[in-house]
């Protein structure tokens, strides 16, 4: 049987259940007012935490595939049947990812572009703003561009869709998105932007871009669930410890773990996979 087909089936039936189980264990709802006590980094890591074990399993199997001949062992039919639900989840996530990456028409102000992010502003919306409000809106969206938030929004949505139908995954996504908006608001205010001007820009955008629960890219309005809390926060003085830009994730540690998993798969994967397939045949 083709090695790539065997690899796909093994990934689905091993990483799929692990991912859903970890997503179920990690579910926790966070109120809008509680996000202020969290950092954007903490919310980002919580979003990806359920995928850690599944990623290690996938990389381990990839290590096995690197040394496996083109024609691998035959997979029992029962494994194809067990893989179908997880294949459906993966296909759904890919379709939604392609849909979210399509070009969009911006009716207010937003940061768009997965590869080369930029600020896009509607002329009608821009002409309705005062000069100080324009500066506040642009400072907020430029903060999104500096942190490459359009790409991060897209990746976060893909990670969440892979955890479907666990409800806690969507809650973690919304919590992180709100934390991002708070961090970018605070970053703009640290640069001298008046919170009232930024709040005015958000309210002016409501007539042209009604608040939505889901959006594939960062807009000035943001998510509906946190809009009231966000505007109220902007009208209050800047906190003594505002949300700071998040440091980078521990990429070196992650890469070391994945390299170890790849090596273990290459060294021991053949024996383990052959034994498992022989047992199920």
Q: What is the mean pLDDT of residues 172-198?
A: 91
Tell me what pLDDT residue 212 has: 56
Strand partners of residue 219: 110
Peptide bond just before 165 cis, omega within 30 deg: yes
* Nearest one of 54, 56, 60 to 20, comparing CA atoms: 54
**pLDDT tens digits along 115-127:** 899 999 999 999 9
Tell me what pLDDT residue 70 has: 65
**Structure-block tokens of residue 108:** 């207010």
Structure-model confidence comparison of residues 132 and 238, the more confident one:
132
Tell me what pLDDT residue 11 has: 93
Strand, helix or coil for residue 121: strand
Please list, in sequence order, all residues whose beta carbon lies within 8 angstroms of the beta carbon of residue 27, skipping any fewer than 6 positions away.
166, 167, 168, 169, 171, 172
Q: What is the DSSP string of 256-277?
A: HHHHHHHHHHHHHHHHHHHHHH
Tell me what pLDDT residue 48 has: 92
Q: What is the mean pLDDT of residues 193-197?
A: 94
The model's pTM is 0.86
What gap in Å lies between CA 116 and CA 121, rounded to an integer?
Answer: 16
Q: Kindly report the CA angle at 190 between 186 and 192, in degrees rounded to 5?
A: 120
- What is the chain's mean pLDDT, rounded? 85
What gap in Å lies between CA 185 and CA 183, rounded to an integer?
Answer: 5
**pLDDT tens digits along 5-37:** 888 999 999 999 999 999 988 866 555 555 665
Tell me what pLDDT residue 64 has: 87
Whether the pLDDT of residue 40 is over 90: the answer is no
Tell me what pLDDT residue 107 has: 86
Strand, helix or coil for residue 123: helix
Share of the chain above pLDDT 90, in %: 44
Query: At 84, which helix (H) or strand (E)?
Result: helix 77-100
Phi, psi of 110 (to 5 degrees): -160, 160
Structure-model confidence comparison of residues 209 and 37, the more confident one:
209
Tell me what pLDDT residue 225 has: 64
**pLDDT tens digits along 211-246:** 555 566 777 776 666 788 888 889 998 876 655 555
**pLDDT tens digits along 147-182:** 999 999 999 999 999 999 988 898 889 889 888 999
Q: What is the mean pLDDT of residues 83-95?
A: 95
Grade residue 199 by pLDDT with cuts at 50, 70 and 90.
Answer: very high
Q: What is the mean pLDDT of residues 36-44?
A: 77
What gap in Å lies between CA 51 and CA 191, rounded to an integer?
Answer: 36
Tell me what pLDDT residue 250 has: 66
* Nearest one of 33, 73, 81 to 269, comparing CA atoms: 73
């Amino acid at each position: 049987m083709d090695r790539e087909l065997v690899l796909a089936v093994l990934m689905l039936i091993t990483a799929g259940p692990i991912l859903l189980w970890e997503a179920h264990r990690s579910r926790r709802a966070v109120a809008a007012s509680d996000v202020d006590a969290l950092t954007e980094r903490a919310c980002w890591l919580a979003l990806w935490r359920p995928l850690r074990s599944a990623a290690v399993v996938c990389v381990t199997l990839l290590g096995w595939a690197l040394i496996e001949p083109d024609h691998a062992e035959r997979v029992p039919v029962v494994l194809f049947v067990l893989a179908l639900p997880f294949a459906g989840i993966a296909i759904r996530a890919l379709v939604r990812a392609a849909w979210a990456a399509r070009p969009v028409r911006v009716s207010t102000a937003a940061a768009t572009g997965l590869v080369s992010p930029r600020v896009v502003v509607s002329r009608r919306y821009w002409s309705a703003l005062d000069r100080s409000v324009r500066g506040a809106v642009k400072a907020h969206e430029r903060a999104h561009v500096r942190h490459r938030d359009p790409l991060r929004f897209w990746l976060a949505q893909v990670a969440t869709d892979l955890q479907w139908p666990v409800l806690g995954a969507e809650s973690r996504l919304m919590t992180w998105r709100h934390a991002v908006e708070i961090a970018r608001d605070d970053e703009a205010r640290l640069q001298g932007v008046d919170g009232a001007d930024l709040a005015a820009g958000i309210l002016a955008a409501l007539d042209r871009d009604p608040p939505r629960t889901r959006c594939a890219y960062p807009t000035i309005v943001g998510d509906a669930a946190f809009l009231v809390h966000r505007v109220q926060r902007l009208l209050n003085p800047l906190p003594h410890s505002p949300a700071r830009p998040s440091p980078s994730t521990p990429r070196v540690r992650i890469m070391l773990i994945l390299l170890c998993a790849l090596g273990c798969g290459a060294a021991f994967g053949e024996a383990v996979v052959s034994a498992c397939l022989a047992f199920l045949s």
